[in-house]
Amino acid sequence: MIVVTGATGTVGSKVVVGLRERGEAVRALLRAGSSGPAEWDDAVERVAADFSDPDSLDAALAGADVVYLLVAVHPQMAAHERNVIDAAVRTGRRPRIVLHAAAGVEHRPEGVRFVGAHVSGLDHLRDSGLPWTVVAPNGFYQNFLGAAESVRTGTLAVPGGEGAVSYVDARDVAAAAVEVLATEGHEGAVYTLTGPAALPLDAVAEQFAAVAGRPVAYTAIAPATALAGMLDAGWDRWRAEGMIELYGLYAAGHAAEVSSDVEKLTGRPARSFTEFAAEHAAVFGG
Ligand SMILES: NC(=O)c1ccc[n+]([C@@H]2O[C@H](COP(=O)([O-])OP(=O)(O)OC[C@H]3O[C@@H](n4cnc5c(N)ncnc54)[C@H](OP(=O)(O)O)[C@@H]3O)[C@@H](O)[C@H]2O)c1
């Protein structure tokens, strides 16, 4: 039995589908009141649980052989990872944990709270004595869907400086995770999941211009301006500050490593940003 947490999200929902396509027995952890995406088949076992509620996690993990541990970005995300790991230990079955972290986690970058939470989760996992594997994706192509409205008006305005980032398609992240979950031989591995190239943001804007058929300009805005904009737009401060930290990592060129782990795991090359932009041309103004 493979238990998938974060199962209704961008990556987790696709992991559930991919595991079912391989005939795996899957239990999806859902929050109370959710029944999961329509594309899941009836054989997906649904269980209500919350990362902040250890009793619910005990019930959700009972009988697990493998656990996909994906927590949402949240001020308590480090505690949420610890709670799932502790519940896995309490099962007494030593389930294999596949921790969905973030690229660079093994370098323990400081001052980037989202990655720092995964560093602390990985430390806890190592200390737990459970068998573990890490999948560590870089920023998803799909994050740019949130900037589509601005792209349609001809501007990509973010505080990413000039740094290149080896963004990855969330579908490739899910496919790689499915392989790690469904097959043996991954203990102690940290798989860095990236696209096939590192792109600076002016190259990203060029790709949007190509599919939109009109100019799209990248404007590197100052971090303080970006933070004020996010707060004005209603973001909570913890998350907005975390995004600024992440953009700082990107701007410094610390997210540019290109890895071949997607292809190693899935047997096919990682999707390019060009493919992603073309598939979503209408969204970006084409
Ligand atoms: N986005 C990126 O570019 C990127 C890059 C690298 C790594 N990451 C990492 O990827 C993870 C996010 O993945 P994602 O984008 O697929 O997530 P997502 O779409 O935000 O989905 C989060 C999932 O967690 C569930 N969830 C939220 N709070 C919960 C709680 N208290 N108890 C139980 N379930 C809860 C959500 O359920 P509901 O549907 O009920 O809300 C949903 O299924 C984060 O750990 C992040 O650090 C992201």
Structural contact between residues 18 and 4, judged by C-beta atoms closer than 8 angstroms: no
Q: What is the pLDDT of residues 10-51, one digit of tens each?
A: 999 999 999 999 999 999 999 999 999 999 999 999 999 999
| Domain positions in the chain | 2-137+169-193
pLDDT band (50, 70, 90) for residue 205: very high
CA of 214 to the centre of ligand 1 (A): 34
Would you say residue 278 has pLDDT above 90? Answer: yes
pLDDT in tens, 146-187: 999 999 999 999 999 999 999 999 999 999 999 999 999 999
pLDDT given for residue 70 in this prediction: 98
Spacing, Cα 104 to ligand 1 middle (Å): 18
CATH code, residues 2-137+169-193: 3.40.50.720
Contact status, residue 30 vs residue 7, Cβ threshold 8 Å: yes
Query: Where would I find the beta strands (DSSP E) of the chain?
Result: 2-4, 26-30, 45-48, 66-69, 96-100, 132-137, 155-158, 190-193, 217-220
User: Which residue puts its alpha carbon closest to atom 40 of ligand 1?
Assistant: 31
Q: Which residues have CB under 6 Å of ligand 1?
A: 6-12, 31, 34, 50-52, 70-73, 100, 102, 114, 137, 139-140, 143
Q: How far is the CA of 194 from the centre of ligand 1 (A)?
A: 18
pLDDT digit string (tens) for 87-129?
A: 999 999 999 999 999 999 999 999 999 999 999 999 999 999 9
Going by CA atoms, what residue is nearest to atom 5 of ligand 1?
A: 139
- pLDDT greater than 90 at residue 143: yes
CA 7 to ligand 1 center in whole angstroms: 8
Burial of 178 (0-12, 13-18, 19+ CB in 10 A): buried
